[in-house]
Amino acid sequence: MELLKILAIFLLVFYGLKYLFRLLMPFALRKMMERLTNKAQQQQSAGGRSGTYSYTTGGNPFEQFKQQTPPENEGEVRVDYVPREEAKLKKGTQTAGEFIEFEEIK
């Protein structure tokens, strides 16, 4: 009988905590997100001096990844890669590899 009493108390506590977490977690997560957004806005207004991530350009953060190419004249064609003549000659079955004949058995 004592085992049933302990088991019932355990289940009541377990489901009670589960219900409380289900009710309280959305509020806790909302408060946490508000704090994070306020902190991010404060760092942004401070110019990013206190944070580890700061952009000196103030514009697009992906600006540094753009490739800088010299301006090309209109109508000019530039070829970066020209394949060797040997690669052009081998086509079809010559470059496909080894073929093995087989018979289909049904």
What share of the chain has pLDDT > 70, as a percent? 67
Map tokens 């219900």 to a residue: 19
Average pLDDT over residues 62-82: 73
The reported pLDDT for the residue numbered 94 is 64
72's CB contacts (< 8 A; 6+ apart) are 78
Verdict on whether the full-model pTM lies above 0.85: no
Residues 6+ apart with CB under 8 A from 99: 93
How many C-beta atoms lie closer than 10 Å to residue 43's C-beta?
A: 16
